[in-house]
Chains A and B, each alone.
Chain A
Amino acid sequence: MSNSNSIQLSNIQLSLGSKQLFSDLSVNFHAGQHTALLGANGAGKSSLLKLICGDRKQHGGEINILGQQREAWDKPELSRHLAVLPQSSELSFAFSVSEVVALGLLNSKLSYQQQQVVVKQQLELMDIWHYRDTPYPQLSGGEKQRVHYARVTAQLATTPVEQQILLLDEPTSALDLSHQQVLMEHASKLSQQGATVISVVHDLNLASRYCQRILLLKHGEMCADGEPEKVLTQANIHQVFDYQAQILRHPEQDFPVII
């Protein structure tokens, strides 16, 4: 890797049906940074994640991941570097919770015992170790989300942290207040250790608190890009969400609070 740009998107074009979403989008993401993608529905946040992970193919332009064109990556190899937390999962078969997390280690070269160690760590981290033998379909929506977060972090566990890329698509939408904090705090800790983390979030305050960088998208265009203080302004929020926000400062920690 020549620089800290772990993901580079250059001159990306993407149309969804007859509608052009991205006409010429270029953006880089950096290792060691937790970036939030913000914007109204249909702004292109999820599409951007899908382009990076390969679920969608761009109609023009180039995507580089860890210094290599995305198309040139060997799929199992890439899966050890890049993990995606989906908004929701269609899993309906009665795997136990620890079996679901172990699916993240499908392509790892770990022995069974080593895998079990990783699974245990991730489950304890997300506070669901006590559910390890519970059939997955019996969990609540938020618990399922935590199981999948444990699965995707397990997927990256054998890779040096600077080469980990974690894409989170609305990671906190099903979670209660305290587990929202647990998850975002963990994701931010990973980024501080050197991982690249990109989250699609709807809660501006979670983004403000836990992300070092915010990308504000509107109709496939980038409206603002930078630190939360610079991006989360009244004018920007009004432009993107058509909402008159009040910006305060958090009384103890120094980040903007939007109400």
Chain B
Amino acid sequence: MSLFSPQSANGSVFSGWLMPAALLLLLATALLSVTQGPMSIPVSDALVALLPFEFASDAPAHYQLVVTGIRLPRTLLCIAVGAILAMCGAVMQGLFRNPLADPGIIGVSSGSAAGAAVAIVLIGLIDWQLPEFVSALAIPLFAFIGGFVTTILVYRLGTTPNGTSVVMMLLAGIAIGALSGAGIGLLSYLANDQMLRDLSLWQMGSLAGATWSNIALATVTLVILCVVFMRKAKALNALLLGEAEAGHLGIKVQQLKSQLIFFTALGVGIAVSVSGLIGFVGLVVPHLVRMLMGPNHQRLIPFSALLGAALLLLADLISRLVISPAELPVGIVTALVGAPFFIFLLLQQRQRIA
């Protein structure tokens, strides 16, 4: 049962105090992310460092470098990736009409990771003298292709003339996830030490590699996804009734499903390519939002984006602080929180079936 019914007199999902509260939460976590780390920086000095012009201040000069050179890119990437992963999770759960569906579960994430692994090992093995921007773009591109091919394959396997079978699609996702895992394992035998380190870092997920090109890629993707998913929010609500019922309500169901699959694959592929495998954000965040304000996608999608960004910022902060000055891959932090949550959800479903 939802704790709040933030439906106001005019029916807008953005009125009321919840949206400002969520924005404030995001702002606060972003500020924490910029100021906290192995070296703590006072908020005022951090804000001064963020100003686009010179400002007379007696703060140490290296604050500027730490804030704008290291922490700001990382924070921005974190926001984009967290929002993308949470939104894609919310949409996939609607698509499958199952709150357990998650980009990781239908194999899109592992497909992307396999693509990335191919790129890492190929570039290392062949040792072409490639221009730097080509090799920098190769990994995102291969990750996207891997995720996209996986999604199409899962979709084909799960689709029958009478519509899409959710069970078949989930099973196909499991099979392809296993295949991707085997592929990455195989590649790791071809890899040298440096590649192995890259691969394992990739598989655990990290936001340490934030570059401005990655940020731009993720931000553009985020904007596209926001527009597409918000336009499909009402149709997604109808889809929760079942495919036949959604069709009776005038939804072009096959077309809707194809679009949603394409754009979730895009989102997950890009997210994996810029930050590796960060699991469970797409599972935990939409679930929390549904508990707070119900399953209506017109609310679920924007609030998942905001909360996903805030939670990934917190997870990233924890990953930087617990063994400071070294850091944990953020994927370990999200898995430590998300996997028990997943088990808790499984237990709930089991009780419901029993």
Which positions in A face B, CB cutoff 8 Å? 53-55, 75-80, 82-84, 86, 89-96, 99-100, 103-104, 106-107, 112-113, 115-116, 133, 135, 138, 155
Contacts and interface: CB of A to CB of B under 8 A. Distances in A.
A106 B244 CA distance: 15
B325 interface: no
Interface of B: 1-2, 5, 10-11, 97, 99, 234-235, 237-238, 240-242, 244-245, 247-252, 290, 294-296
Given A75-B252, A92-B97, A86 B245 contact: yes
A54 B247 contact: yes
Contacts, number: 80
Main secondary structure of the interface of A (DSSP, over half): mixed
Contacts of A54: 247
B237 to A, nearest CB: 6
B249 A94 contact: no
- Name which of B5, B240, B251, B290 has the most chain A CB atoms within 10 A of its CB: B240
Given A93-B290, A95-B294, A107 B242 contact: no
Contacts of B11: 112-113, 115-116
Contacts of A155: 249
Given A90-B242, A94-B295, A99-B294, A53 B248 contact: yes
Contacts of B251: 75, 106
B10 A86 contact: no
A103 B241 contact: yes
Given A86-B245, A93-B240, A94-B1, A79 B295 contact: no
Contact of B5 (A107, A112, A133): A133
Given A96-B294, A99-B294, A103-B241, A79 B249 contact: yes
12 contacts: A75-B247, A84-B244, A86-B242, A93-B99, A93-B290, A94-B2, A103-B249, A104-B249, A106-B235, A106-B250, A112-B11, A135-B1
Given A106-B238, A112-B11, A99 B296 contact: yes
B298 to A, nearest CB: 11
Given A53-B248, A84-B245, A84-B248, 13 more contacts: A76-B250, A84-B244, A89-B242, A91-B242, A92-B97, A93-B97, A94-B1, A95-B294, A106-B249, A112-B10, A113-B11, A135-B294, A155-B249
